Amino acid sequence: MGMSTLLITAYAKAPQNTSMYENNKYAGIVLEIHKESHIIINAEFTFLTKLAQDFFKRMIVGYDFSKDINPLIEEITTVFLAPSQQAVIVALKIAHQRYEDSLREINKK
């Protein structure tokens, strides 16, 4: 009996001269995605503040990760005005590519 969800992680280099860089060096994202619906059901980020973690979790949970993520990226650029914005976007893009690759691999079988 397999799990109904999968976990995807991705990282991008944090911008220098920020507290994120000083503490972690990388912006990390961990997503739990339902295998059948492709909906993100849980998310964690390597932000230093609980507010930032909660903010992103509320923005991303419920998103269909099998779809184009450009609307999500546009929202991030509009509402997350921080030095680590690009690192977060890069990590999200890497996670999305990893997920798409896994879907293609599953469909080959």
Nearest to 57 by CA among 38, 76, 70, 44: 44
pLDDT at 24 over 90: no
Q: Which of 20-24, 33-37, 54-58, 90-94 has the lowest mean pLDDT?
A: 20-24
pLDDT of residue 21: 61
Please answer whether residues 73 and 96 qualify as being in contact, where contact means their C-beta atoms are separated by less than 8 angstroms: no
pLDDT of residue 1: 60
pLDDT of residue 47: 73
What backbone phi and psi angles, to 5 degrees, belong to 102?
-65, -35
Strands 40-45 and 26-34: antiparallel
pLDDT of residue 60: 96
CATH number for 95:
3.30.390
d(CA 40, CA 77): 20
d(CA 4, CA 60): 19
Q: What's the whole-model pTM score?
A: 0.87
Can you give the residue range of the structural domain that contains 82? Answer: 5-108
Number of domains into which the chain is organized: 1
